[in-house]
Amino acid sequence: MSWNALDLARESVRSLSPYVPGKPVEALEREYGITQAVKLASNENPLGAGERARAALRDLGDSLGRYPDGGGFELRGALAALHGVAASQVTLGNGSNDVLDLVARAFAGPGDEIVFSAHAFAVYPIVTAAAGATAVEAPSRDWGHDLDAMAAAIGPRTRVVFVANPNNPTGTWLARGPLEAFVRALPERVIVVIDEAYAEYVAQPEYPDCTAWVARHPNVVATRTFSKVHGLAALRVGYGVSHESVADVLNRVRQPFNVNSLGLAAARAALEDTEHLRRSREVNAAGLAQLEAGARSLGLSWIPSVANFITLDLGRPAAPVYEALLRAGVIVRPVANYGMPRHLRVSVGLAGENARCLEALERALRG
Ligand SMILES: *Cc1c(COP(=O)(O)O)cnc(C)c1O
């Protein structure tokens, strides 16, 4: 047998499948020989970055030879002010995925368990395996998190729990009362990460801002990102808000310059761009309504979503429909890897992009 590094990898990594990102527009155009493709596959902001973030990037040319501010002084200060915490409670990440990874590596290892829900974000099993820990998947309810089932999955070896609120790829969400009861019932030795990547889109009054919980629940880490509503996915900036001692632990395993200078500057500027935030939410609400109306007229059902995507139930294997959409120049996201082979996740785009997706879907379902 030939030499293969897979045989040398830790066992938890050997059984892992790599993360499959949404297909980039350039890849589709190259592979299918088409132009004008539309990508509604990675929950990106269809408006892109705001003016302020773009302007901040233009000023950076002179400092490209320097290392970034490894402590992220300005951005952490601005985030601390935004959330009413101390800067020492903010951990910056190369995307919030980085913060999820830091938590898994810092708090769990071989022999430890990390709990999350079925149909939850695909990065949780990856960071769990990379830490050498054991994943414990709790069953879902109505495609969303079943907090009772998650509580039942907690055992003496549990070190970390990941809760996505809202969840990706289902768009489901948890209300303040049940979520805080769940957190309160957890042993304090369990770190509970509440992943709020889509928080800014959620308009439900019962939706909790868990960055405010760290004062009374020291084991809570709330994570946020600049990749979604702020439209800065390319720059990879996210953060966690936590108890100061949790941030201290994460800082010990963090790569020294995990957030680059462009990301730091653009994120800082984006925080001040309240007009871009407002427009982004407005475009999303209109687009979500458009996609729901379109799905209804196609006779499809969907999982009710509060985020910037909607997951449609095609009532049949989704893979051929996904392929037909690709040939029509529309990229959406298959979610068979989440145990959802009949669903497709569609990110909310601009009105014209949503319309193209619905037209292509209609043809694909008929053909
Ligand atoms: C997109 C997403 C993230 C954020 O990813 P970044 O690394 O910040 O780009 C985190 N959690 C969930 C559930 C997501 O969907």
For residue range 336-365, list pLDDT tens digits in order.
Answer: 999 999 999 999 999 999 999 999 999 999
**pLDDT tier for residue 39 given thresholds of 50, 70 and 90:** very high
Indicate whether residue 197 lines ligand 1 (CB < 6 A).
Answer: yes
pLDDT of residue 111: 97
pLDDT of residue 216: 96
Question: For residue 1, is pLDDT > 90?
Answer: no
Q: How far is the CA of 4 from the centre of ligand 1 (A)?
A: 32
CA distance 86 to 90: 7
pLDDT, one tens digit per residue, over 107-138 is: 999 999 999 999 999 999 999 999 999 999 99
Residue of 19, 45, 102, 168 to test ligand 1 pocket, by largest number of atoms within 8 Å of CB:
168
Indicate whether residue 211 lines ligand 1 (CB < 6 A).
Answer: no
Question: For residue 20, is pLDDT > 90?
Answer: no
Indicate whether residue 95 lines ligand 1 (CB < 6 A).
Answer: yes
Average pLDDT over residues 192-200: 98
Question: For residue 202, is pLDDT > 90?
Answer: yes
pLDDT of residue 60: 85
Neighbours of 77 (CB within 10 A): 14
Indicate whether residue 240 lines ligand 1 (CB < 6 A).
Answer: no
pLDDT, one tens digit per residue, over 223-263 is: 999 999 999 999 999 999 999 999 999 999 999 999 999 99
Mean pLDDT score across all residues of the chain: 96
pLDDT of residue 320: 97
Indicate whether residue 273 lines ligand 1 (CB < 6 A).
Answer: no
Indicate whether residue 91 lines ligand 1 (CB < 6 A).
Answer: no
One-letter identity of residue 171: G
Question: For residue 61, is pLDDT > 80?
Answer: no
**pLDDT tier for residue 88 given thresholds of 50, 70 and 90:** very high
Average pLDDT over residues 163-167: 98
Average pLDDT over residues 64-73: 94
Write the residue with the smallest CA distance to atom 11 of ligand 1. Answer: 197
Write the residue with the smallest CA distance to atom 10 of ligand 1. Answer: 197
- Dmax of the chain from CA atoms? 60
Question: For residue 15, is pLDDT > 90?
Answer: no
What share of the chain has pLDDT > 70, as a percent?
100
Q: How far is the CA of 95 from the centre of ligand 1 (A)?
A: 7
SS (H, E, C) 166-221: CCCCCCCCCCHHHHHHHHHHCCCCCEEEEECCCHHHCCCCCCCCHHHHCCCCCCEE
**pLDDT tier for residue 9 given thresholds of 50, 70 and 90:** very high
Average pLDDT over residues 138-152: 98
The reply to whether the predicted model has a pTM over 0.95 is yes
CA distance 305 to 217: 28
- Residue 100 neighbours by CB under 8 Å, 6+ apart: 123, 124, 127, 162, 193, 195, 223
